[in-house]
Amino acid sequence: MVRNFVKTWILPPGIASLVGHLLRPQSEPEGIQLTPAEKALLAHNKTLKDRHAGERCFILGAGSSIKKQNLKRLRGEIVISVSNAFVHHDFPMFRPKYHVLPPLLQSHGRLYPQDELIGWLKEMEQQTFDAEMVFHIGDQDMIRSHGLFKNRKIHWVDYFEWDEVRRPEIDLSKVLKIWSVSELAITVAVYMGFDKIYLLGFDHDWFNGPYAYFYDEKYEHKLKPDSSRAVFADAEFQMRRHAYIFRKYKYLYGLKRNIYNANANPDHYLDVFPKVDYESLFHG
């Protein structure tokens, strides 16, 4: 009871996850308790293994830097978009093949009422066309019960604690727990066997505030995130969070060394991946 109170009412999602791991009895299994049907859904992810071997993809984040890039160049490319990136005005032109979400109820559920999350998902369903979706298995009941994404291909993943030391082979039924949806998007891309993975809008410029996006979160995000909901995200919190994320990036990059930073932001400090010039990736 004490553990649940602390996790639910006092700590932010990332820290709550860490505390939950530290307080978990050794006999308690990682991940959520799954039904046979849910296990079957996770097992189906094996069909994604090396699906795009030899191809390239672009992962579209929501960082402010993409305002400086011509995303029309992505027409005909395989694009993996994340979260609220679908509000970009060029989104209908390149229509991402995949759209990836972080665990919603497990993390965002502490910040937003479920009806607000549902409203956001409905908008997302309308604006992501026929993109294949990637959701946390823990959100399945919420999505199914509200009749969302009924005619869309959905890939379900589950998360497990990471000690920042292990370097296991990627398994989408056992994704190493994330602090950012960018970690999941890269994990999915690596698992699908892309020869080259290019990152756009991965700014990680937390020093510009918790909501440094390419869009105006007050008017272009259904959830309307505001600083009052992110009072916990001070400099120390962000530094600890980013240290974890960057270590995860190093692990992912070390698997195939096929991830490249095509970010337009000259002030970014994401030095884990080799930097490439975005425009040089296209002919004409």
Is 96 in contact with 236 (CB distance < 8 Å)? Answer: no
Range of the domain at 112: 31-281
The answer to whether residue 6 is domain-embedded is: no
pLDDT tier, 228 (very low <50, low <70, confident <90, very high otherwise): low
> In this structure, what CATH number is given to the domain that contains residue 261?
3.90.1480
Q: Check pLDDT > 80 for residue 35.
A: yes
The answer to whether residue 1 is domain-embedded is: no
Residue 230: the pLDDT is 66
Structural domain total, the chain: 1
Tens of pLDDT, residues 95-146: 999 999 999 999 887 888 999 999 999 999 999 999 999 999 999 999 999 9
**What is the pTM (predicted TM-score) of this model?**
0.87
* C-alpha to C-alpha distance for 34 and 28, rounded to whole angstroms: 13
The answer to whether residue 187 is domain-embedded is: yes
The answer to whether residue 24 is domain-embedded is: no
Least confident of 13-22, 30-39, 75-84, 268-277: 13-22
* C-alpha to C-alpha distance for 59 and 98, rounded to whole angstroms: 9
In this prediction, residues 233-257 reach a mean pLDDT of 92
Mean residue pLDDT of the chain comes to 87
